Amino acid sequence: MILRLLVAALILLRLAGELVLSALNRAEVRRHAPGPPASIAGLVDPATHARSAAYTLEKSRFGAVTEICDAAVLALALFSGFLPWLFARVAGWGAPGASWSGAVFILLAGFALTLPSAPFAWWEQFHLEAKFGFNRTTPALWLADRLKGLALALVIGFPLLWALLVLVRRAGSAWWLWGFLLVLGFQLAALLLYPRLILPLFNKLSPLPEGALRARLLALGDRTGFRAAAIQVIDGSKRSAHSNAYFTGFGRFRRIVLFDTLIAQLSPTELEAVLAHEIGHYRRGHIPKRLALAAASLFAGFGVIAWLAGRPWFNGAFGLPPGALAASFLLFGLLSGLVTFWFSPLGNFLSRRHEYEADAFAREAMAGPEPLVGALRRLAEKNLSNLTPHPWFSAFHYSHPTIVERERALTR
């Protein structure tokens, strides 16, 4: 009973935190809505600032509704008896304690918990994003994406969960160490396989055509010591007008990926600066650092799961059989966010430091801040970025510094 009360309190506390942060952010945006403050007066024109404020406010109000519904769904799942009922039904399909049935239980529970969010995702895409000119997808493509995601969860998620549960059942008291190694190995393999096997199921990737832009970007790679297997263009415009750039893989499997929307929005010099920023992440060692941090978090997570699974009160508090590892894995996945939410400013702080370092690298590679500053301003304009977020909201939700903060660091 004590654990159930604690979890209920954590759900309400996180919800209250999210709603307070959203309210503070809306108040900050409304305060500056009549006209850009002096700190951003030169970044965008008044009309763009007004559209950005309207977009931010509508997204924030919609986000508050989804947060309330998500909290309600989580509470119902934990306290209504749904999970024990589902566990019993799935367990009855095979031998008691079978690993495959545990994997099925986790997948079915996860699917059931995501169903209520589908109408919200639909409304966001076809109303909110469409209202501000960002939606490019069709209902058929939207549905196809979700069906493909479900198929991938079955094809990839089920074997992984089954293998994990078989391993932990046979590995004795050190099962969590072996489980950690299995999942870590899978995640590293996914970094290599995702751009080749998964991404093409959703998007078309094509080589950047020969020409001045390709020559410019390859020359940038040469002078910054960054070699990539390919420079590819992704057809992001078939879903959204938002833009991005990134690279995938590591070692000789690195690939530079540019959204076609990004190429359309930026000048060649600005595109080069954006790529220099991405190369800066590589040259400053951010990728292995983030992988190491993710591995440490995964290691700690498995340690916590092992400890909780050994306590009969953990599963039992929610009506699930004590010691059932599949149930413990699911409960940990559902409950961990209630705690980690409060530590998100620490992760964002580290991410922001990396962004500043990558910006500084791009400034050096481009012999000045102007190309990257121009790209950041253009992207803020095209994506209707929130230019005046509340500092607390930014700390909890922004992995990147604001454009004002980035410009200040670039030009000082």
**What are the start-end ranges of the H helices in 115-259?**
118-123, 130-131, 139-152, 158-170, 175-193, 212-224
How far is the C-alpha of 327 from the C-alpha of 315, rounded, in Å? Answer: 7
- The DSSP result for 6-18, as a single string, is HHHHHHHHHHHHH
Whether the Cβ atoms of residue 373 and residue 411 lie closer than 8 Å to each other: yes
How far is the C-alpha of 379 from the C-alpha of 402, rounded, in Å? Answer: 12
User: Choosing from 18, 28, 129, 278, which is the catalytic residue?
Assistant: 278
Decide if 222 is catalytic: no
Decide if 145 is catalytic: no
Report the b/e string of 162-178 with b at 16+ CB within 10 A: bbbbebbeeeeeebbeb
Report strand pairing: 245-248 vs 255-259.
antiparallel
**Between the CA of residue 382 and those of 28, 45, 55, 96, 316, what are the distances in Å?**
21, 12, 12, 56, 51
User: Choosing from 28, 272, 355, 359, which is the catalytic residue?
Assistant: 359
Among candidate residues 158, 50, 141, the one with its CA nearest the CA of residue 104: 158
Catalytic positions are: 278, 359
